[in-house]
Structure formats: structure tokens, C-alpha cells
Amino acid sequence: MKRYALLFLSASLTVLVFVMSLQTGEVSGSMSSPITLALARLIETVFPRMTFDLDTLHLIVRKCAHVTEYGALGIAYALTAIAWKVRPWIACVAGAGIAFLDEWIQGFIPGRGPDPFDALCFDIPGFLIGLVAVLLVAGRIGRNRRHRNNVS
């Protein structure tokens, strides 16, 4: 039952990634604007003399959202791969495929466009951070390396 729940979680998060890509540029930007404004207020409170560009801060928030979204996806895929005894590299290939498909979908959405830079620099690294974190915690990486060294 746990295996199916993890598979459902991975599939649901994948659908969520695609649903987010189907939002227009205006809707997508409005979703991250409140976070940007809250962060701007926090920065102004903590560092009252600091000046910064709100558009740049908004861009940073949006790129962090890419990493966070794909980090969660990487965690789900790693847990699913472990439960189903699937090799982690297959999850990596799936994550990269989803990232590029996600960007391709955005090419059809008003106010958005495909950006392979997002996939390469934010989505895939976010996915790998989540996946590798789970594998390290689960001991999959170190244990496999130790096992290979003992066999040699």
C-alpha cells in the first residue's frame, strides 16, 4: 500500500508541476508577488538602509520557487524509486524529462515562454537536490559505494 501511496504522490506532484506551467504569465507572476512583497518588507525591516530592486527580488523568488517545486518532486521520486526498487538514475531521467516538458508546455501559454535555462539551472538541480538528499538519508549512496569496495 505504501508503494502505491508514494506513486500517487509522485504522479500528483508531476501533475501539479504541469498545472503550474499552464498558468498565464500574469497569473504565475501574481502567485509569487505576495511572497516577494513580504520578503521586501522583511529586508527593509532588518536592513533599513539597504536598497534593492523589487523586480530583481521577484525574479529571485520565482527561481527559488523552481528549485523548491522540483526539490519536492525529487524527494517524491526518490521515495517512490526506493519503494519500487527502481534505480535512482531512472528517476533522474524522469526528472529531467519533466523539466524540459514543463518548459516546452510554457511555450504555448500567453505571457510565458520556454526557457531551457530554467530547466538546466533551476529545475533539474532542484530535483537532484531532493533526490540525493533522500538517497543520502536512506543510505543508498554510501551503502552501494561501500558494498562495491568490499566486493573488489
Measured CA to CA, the distance from residue 92 to residue 82 in angstroms comes to 13
Mean pLDDT of 123-151: 80
Per-residue pLDDT reduced to its tens digit, 61-82: 999 999 999 999 999 999 999 9
Per-residue pLDDT reduced to its tens digit, 89-108: 999 999 999 999 999 999 99
**pLDDT exceeds cutoff 90 at 36:** yes
pLDDT band at 147 (very low <50, low <70, confident <90, very high): low
pLDDT band at 144 (very low <50, low <70, confident <90, very high): low
Structural domain boundaries enclosing 9: 2-27+59-151
- Residue 65 C-alpha cell reads as 520557487
With a pLDDT cut of 90, the percent of the chain lying above it is 88
Residues contacting residue 28 through CB under 8 Å, at least 6 positions apart: 20, 111, 112
Q: pLDDT at position 139, please?
A: 87
**pLDDT exceeds cutoff 60 at 148:** no
Q: pLDDT at position 145, please?
A: 54
Residue 104 resides in a domain: yes
- Residue 67 C-alpha cell reads as 528549485
Contact 24, 110 (CB under 8 A): yes
Residue 98 resides in a domain: yes
- Residue 74 C-alpha cell reads as 525529487
Residue 106 resides in a domain: yes
Q: pLDDT at position 133, please?
A: 96
Domain count, the chain: 1
Residue 48 resides in a domain: no
**pLDDT exceeds cutoff 70 at 42:** yes
For all residues of the chain together, what is the average pLDDT? Answer: 92
